Every structure is written in structure tokens, then in C-alpha cells.
Structure 1
Amino acid sequence: MFDPPIDLSDLPGYQAAASTRPARVAFLGRCSTKDNQDPRSSLAGQLAEASTLLAPGETFTACFWDVESGMLGLDERSQGSADDYARLGVAVPRDGGLRELLEWAERGELDRVVCERISRVARDMLPSLQVEYHLASRGVRLECANEPRGGMTTGQLELRRTAQVRAEIYRHELLEQSMRGQRQHTADGYRHGPACYGYVAVVDPDAPPAANRFGGGRPKMRLALHPDARRADTVREVFRLRRVERLSDGEIAGVLAANLDRHPLAEGQVPWAARRVRKMLFQPKYTGFQVFNRCAARTNRSRMNPIAEWIWSRQQAHPVVVPLEHWHQTQLVTAQLRQRQAPGWDRVREAAAQRGIELTTVRQSDTHILYEAAGRRLVLPRGDLPAAVADEVIAALEAGA
């Protein structure tokens, strides 16, 4: 109905010139971690579904797939080594993962990318859209085997965006269910993560059998004291040195390193260092309680969650190495020591602001400044304020307030 009024088919450019080069089509696949899915069957099934979009005589130029969570951001994808993937024994050839696919598209080496469904690209909507945009902006079409062919673009787009929303909702549902299970796991006192120094993990013979849809599940484990009693004694000594003698992390590490016969190292670990001491002093499991959600595991393992967000077992679940009261006192001492490491003037100004006290300069010389605060006059040196002097000033502000 939109044809020209006369036959123009004899004109040059009437039809787009057909390309003589075969289309370069790539397969994109992903399955979750090898503990949750069998990559061999999952990826082979995805490849079979994606192959239905190939034209007669067409083959995949390259195959890109990962065995990892779809909840990862783009900068965290495709981290496994070639040796790791070779050990999986997946029959589908692998030219790389999602990261390599984007690099191929950047170099103009692909025309189409085919996957089973959009959730195989990513579970979160943002990275899924980023991949889609990256490919489209380079003239590469992303196709999904579970989407209908033909029709209007708006209908296809609505289906894809709906699938992306559904994938992200499913992702959050999985996280909620997982967190619920982890909370209950902790409340019952079962172990989370590797055993900390001074403990070993043992199977709980009284725990109900764990099973999943593949058959046998992981046994539930608890913490028990390490057979070498020196390790528990080392933990107690570390807490005593901080709580009673108020030693710094480095000073405590020096004490331990000076007597390795009394304070043995864990298997395969480097000599005692301030960082290891700091982690030990902050470990609440030494109180006999099981604790979960101390760090942001999925986003940044080095970022600690507020203590108010920690999940504790209902009762003590394993032998106590450090009484809960001593652990609490140790955290207070640690906070005081860290506070004293801050610049003296920052501490004084913060203490004054917390008490609504204004520091007013009365007069000054080349070496000292006379301040007035809360009805008192304080003569303080110019420049950096030593920690001991800052302690005295803060005590005077507290007395004046």
C-alpha cells in the first residue's frame, strides 16, 4: 500500500545491497555457581535453545558463557580463569565470558548475539540494560530465544523489559529467602564461614539431616575448641593485652611474634601482624555466640555492617573463649584508642560541639593561644595538640559542661 506510483525497481539503490559476508553470530550463556546448577547440562540446554534462532547453514562464530551469579555487576563478571572453566568439563566451547563478548563487539567483530533468555545476561536490570545498550550502540543486535519473532518493536520491547523486571524481582526474592535461611541458621547456632583462630568446625551429630533437590546437602556444623589449647590461650591473652594493658594492634602483634612457642600461628598463615590482631579483637564468636551479617559480603567484604545489624544466635552455641563482658569492654577500649589516634584539635572541637560549648580566642602569642570555654580559660600550644593534652582539655570541657 506504500509502493511508488510507477515501477522504480530499475533504479540504483532501490534495494539495500545484500552483504556477501556471513553474519557473525555469538552465543551468550550463563548459569549460577557450580554448587547450585550443573553447568554441563544447563549450558548445553541454553545453546540448543539459542540455536533455534540461527538461519539455515548459519553457525555460531563464538561462544561466550560464565558460571557465576547473575547478581554481579559488569566489573565483577568473567573473573574465572581458563583452567577453572576447563575443569568443569562443559562440552560447549568457550571464547570467553561476558567481558570478552563486549570486547569483541567493541572491535566490530560481531553482528548478532543470541541467548536463551534476557536473565542469562544479568539478574539485575541495570547491567542487563548496559549490555543491551553497549551492543546496540555498536550495531550488534541482542536476541533472546524465548521472545517472539516478528511483529512490532514495541511489543518485543515490552516483553523484554517485563522479563528484565521479573528477573530483578526474582533476584531480590532469592536474597530475601536466603537471608531468612541464614538468620535461622545463625539463630540455631550453626557455623558461618571458616572457623576463626582457636576453633575448629565439627559436624553437629544432633542436627537434622540437610537435603536439597540434588540429594545430599551440606552437614550442619558448629565450632569447637582447637585441639591445641595454646590457641585459645593466645586469644585470651590478646584480649587481656588490649583490655587491661591497652596495647595497640602492632604492640600486641609484637608480643605474639616474640613467643611463637606460646602463641602458634595457624596453618599456612603469615607471622602475626597488626591486621590479624585487629580482626581477632573484633570477632564476637569468641563469646560463644554464633554471629552473622557482620560484613557486606555481596558488595564490599571490607565494609563492616553496624553492630545493630548483626544477627546473634539465641544462646551460646559453642565453647566460650572470651566472656561477653570482656569482649564488650575490649570494644570500648579499642574505640578509645582509635579516638586518641585522631588529631588532637579534631577531638577537642568534636567534644566541644557535642556539649554545645564554643571555644573563643581571647589572645595569642607566637607559641600559645588563650581560649575561653564554658567559663574557663585554657592556654594551649599552637600547632598539633598532643593526645595527652587533648585528653586533659576534653576532661576540662566535660567538667565545665
Structure 2
Amino acid sequence: MPRFAFAGRCSTEDLQDPETSRNWQLTRARALIEPAGGEIVAEYFDAGHSRALPWKRRPQAAALLTALRDPHRGFDAVVIGEPQRTFYGNQFGNTFPLFTHFNVPLWVPEIGGPIDPDNEAHDLVMSVFGGMSKGERNRVKIRVRTAMGSQAKIEGRFLGGRPPYGYRLADAGPHPNPAKAADGKRLHRLEPDPQAAPIVVRIFTEYLRGTGLYAIAEGLTRDNIPCPSAHDRARNPHRDGRAWSKNTVRAILTNPRYTGHEVWNKQRKQEILLDIDDVTLGHRTQQTWNTPEQWIWSAKPVHEPLISKTTFTHAQARRHDRRQHHPAERSPRTTPRTYALRGLIRCSLCDRKMQGTFNHGHPHYRCRYPYEYAKSSPLDHPLTVYIREAVILPELDRWIAQAFAPGQLKTTLQTMQRSQRATTTALPGLEAARRTIADCDR
């Protein structure tokens, strides 16, 4: 009896749950091999991974490729239930040679059995399915983006996300899609937040009078006005809520939604090659800012404005003039230098992550809280706090050696397990949050 490994995939883009997707792909695979006496003895099913990811970057698909190299792999052939879910673009051409090399037949329903590596028709059919898979994904992206653009421009619909500081969400009636309305989904709109809306007006007013970003932040902090992360602490537990920052003031001044218009397409997802010398590794997705000319504005105001469009235009003109006379600060950039504790060191005064920096040829970690945030009376923070990496590493190594010593290893592992369990227990909404994130991905 031939032994088969089943390979399949579904992602959050699929409007069905992973178990349903796995079951129908598995059903198709069994319908193909059972008349030949085949039996599935192993499964390699990737859930939550885009088809655009190459096989080497999907956990289960990569495990299958590794298993092909094992002469004691436990299966004689591989069966796929749906080639459009498994292969994308030219992935078949980059993957099938491995099956041929290790003499493992690959069965596909559309072929009616195993793929013949010497059959041009088989190769053509699989290449077509890869192209169809890529075309399907691209068509979905185009339809979704076009639909969202028209909803923003023509209908002025709120398209989701966190309301900007100064607004809060209000109910806007049932969803226009009957199926979604029956499921209880409703539309939302923005309405002014009684506490935060006047602060937005104050920021624009002071800025147009000539006050700088840092001076505005200092004035708001001095007047004990909660910054956005402190105003909505439940949704911003990861941010510092002690004082206003220049970046926060800048973000408010550049947000066109305060004019009452819905504005969409300020950012886009851009796919960038992981390795220009090996395109088979695929892409990574990166959020990129669009230019103001690419933003899509609603044809008319759709929620109560906090400022006029003229005020917003004047604020942007002043920012442009300041950039002309005062070059903008350099944006963060990647560095070829390595930091052993990158992203792990926090300032004990403000609890912010410290930045890696090289001084006199040695790696340091620094915190420049006052450079970005206004001075806050409860926090006495020096202008810059430095610590040398060479001071931390020996102490850290000694602590790790003690915690994972043979006589202490069991206690350490039990403590780590209890800590993980406590973290999971402390987040009762974790699963709901994950479902919400998956909905946003869709």
C-alpha cells in the first residue's frame, strides 16, 4: 500500500477557518489516492501563511522539504489537494526538482495522479496553476483597494482602525452588506471627544502663532493635560504616558482627518526582496508612507471638523517652510554595527527602550528621553543616560551561568513555565485579540 504525505496551506486571507480548509483539501487528496490503494500517513499543513511565501519560509512546507532528504522519511509519495493554495507564481518550478531529485512522486488532482517530470503538458499545467494563484491574489488586492478607495472618496465611510486623538467612535447604523448586517456588524463614524478635541484646536492655534513642536509639548505637559497614550491608557499600555512628545504633536499637525474629511491611502504595503541575490526567498512586506498627492480624500466632510481645511493647509505650509530653513532630522536607519542586547535594555527612570550607539569604538546603550518628551515634574531625567555594553555582559553571563547551572536548571525551567502560564492567565482577551488581528489582516 503506497504511503503518502499530505501537503496543504491556508492563510488569513481565506474567508474560512483553517480546519474547514484543511478538511476539504484533505478530502480531495484522499479521493485521488484511495482508488490506487494509497494511505495518508503524514500531514504538512500550513495555516496562517500567505501563498506568496516560498516553501522554505512556510514552517510545514519547509519541514516537508527537509523530510524529502531523509531516506527513512516514512512515506513514499506526496499528495496535494489544491495546487492553487500550495504553489504561487514560479514556486512549482523552484520546488519540484527536489521531488524529482529524491525520487518522491508528487500527486495532484488536476493531473489525475503523479506529475511526470518528462511530460511537458504536466509542467505547463502546473505553471498555469501557479500563474492563476498569483493572478487571483493580485486581483483580490486590486478589488479590495479599489473598493476601499471608492468607499472613502464617494461614501466617506470610516474604514476602521483607531480613531485619531480628538475623536471617538460613534455608531453609524447597520452594515450595508445584508449578510454582515445579519451577523450584527455595524458601521462607525468619528465624533469629537469632549476632552481631547479642544486640545487639538489648541495645538493648531499655537503652532500657527509660531510656537515650536517642543514648546507646545512642554506647555501641554506643564498644564497637566494627558497625552494621547495617557488619555486612552487601556489601548496604550506599551507607551509612555508621562508627557507629550514632539512626535505626538507632529502627528496631530499632519493628520488631515481633523478637517472633517475621511482620508485614506496615507500608507501602503510594499513588497521588498529579502535577498536580491536569491529571489527564490521571496519578499517581506513593509509599510511605506505615500506622498500627500496619493492620499484619497472624501468628496465632502463626513464628520464634524475640529479645524478648517484652510487652517490645516496653513499648518502644512509652515512645516514646509521650516523644513526649507531647518533641515529635517535624519530618519532612523539600519546600522551595520551589532548590539548583543539590542531592544532588551530599558531605562530604569522612564522604562523606555535604550538605543544602541557607538562611542569611542565601543557599543553603548543610551536614553535621550528629554530630547523627545517634554519635561515632566514627576520625572527627574538627565539629558542623556549612557551605559557601556561591556559593563552589562559579564554580569549577565554570570547570572545566566547560575540560573542554568546543572543543580539549578530544573528550578529555572519551572519558574519560566509558571511565568508563561501567569502571562497567559493575565490576558483573558488574548484569543479575542488574535481573532481581531486576523480580521484586520483579511
TM range (shorter): 0.5 to 0.7
- Aligned amino acid, residue 280 of structure 1: I
What secondary structure is seen at the aligned counterpart in 2 of 1:202? strand
Corresponding residue of 1:326: 311
Corresponding residue of 1:39: 18
Corresponding residue of 2:189: 222
Q: Report matched runs for 1:138-153 at 5 Å.
A: 142-149=106-113, 153=119
- Aligned amino acid, residue 10 of structure 2: C
Corresponding residue of 2:89: 125
- 1:298 and 1:47, CA in 2 relative to 1: closer, same or farther beyond 3 A? farther
- 1:169 and 1:302, CA in 2 relative to 1: closer, same or farther beyond 3 A? closer
Q: Aligned residues: percent identity?
A: 22
- Aligned amino acid, residue 221 of structure 1: H
Cα drift, residue 290 of structure 1? 0.6
Corresponding residue of 1:200: 168
Q: Report matched runs for 1:22-61 at 5 Å.
A: 25-33=4-12, 36-51=15-30, 52-53=32-33, 56=37, 58-61=39-42
- 1:241 and 1:343, CA in 2 relative to 1: closer, same or farther beyond 3 A? closer
- Aligned amino acid, residue 185 of structure 1: Q
- 1:127 and 1:277, CA in 2 relative to 1: closer, same or farther beyond 3 A? farther
Q: Does 1:165 align with 2:144?
A: no
Corresponding residue of 1:64: 45
Q: Please, what TM-score do these two structures have when normalized by structure 1? A: 0.63
Cα distance in 2 between the residues matched to 1:332 and 1:111: 69
Kept in 2: contact 1:64–1:100 (CA 8 A) = no
Cα distance in 2 between the residues matched to 1:256 and 1:127: 55
Q: Please, what TM-score do these two structures have when normalized by structure 2? A: 0.58
Q: Does 1:336 align with 2:321?
A: yes
Corresponding residue of 1:371: none
Corresponding residue of 1:309: 294
Cα distance in 1 between the residues matched to 2:3 and 2:122: 23
Corresponding residue of 2:157: 190
What secondary structure is seen at the aligned counterpart in 2 of 1:125? coil
- Aligned amino acid, residue 219 of structure 1: R
Cα deviation digits, residues 146-169 of structure 1 (max 9, x gap)? 223366520101111111222222
Structure with the larger helix share: 2
Point out which structure has higher relative CO (alpha carbons under 8 A, 6+ apart).
2
Cα deviation digits, residues 7-44 of structure 1 (max 9, x gap)? xxxxxxxxxxxxxxx98753222224277223222211
Which entry has the higher C-alpha Rg, 1 or 2?
1
Corresponding residue of 1:287: 259
- 1:201 and 1:141, CA in 2 relative to 1: closer, same or farther beyond 3 A? farther
Corresponding residue of 1:276: 248
Kept in 2: contact 1:26–1:64 (CA 8 A) = no
Q: Does 1:233 align with 2:198?
A: yes
Cα drift, residue 215 of structure 1? 5.7
Cα drift, residue 287 of structure 1? 0.9
Kept in 2: contact 1:50–1:114 (CA 8 A) = yes
Cα distance in 2 between the residues matched to 1:326 and 1:318: 17
- 1:176 and 1:340, CA in 2 relative to 1: closer, same or farther beyond 3 A? same
Kept in 2: contact 1:230–1:262 (CA 8 A) = no
**Structure 2: stretches of 5+ with no match in the other structure:** 272-284, 330-442
Corresponding residue of 2:223: 259
Aligned length: 300
Cα distance in 1 between the residues matched to 2:190 and 2:5: 48
- 1:120 and 1:331, CA in 2 relative to 1: closer, same or farther beyond 3 A? same
Cα deviation digits, residues 374-396 of structure 1 (max 9, x gap)? xxxxxxxxxxxxxxxxxxxxxxx
**Structure 1: stretches of 5+ with no match in the other structure:** 1-21, 79-95, 345-401
- 1:225 and 1:148, CA in 2 relative to 1: closer, same or farther beyond 3 A? same
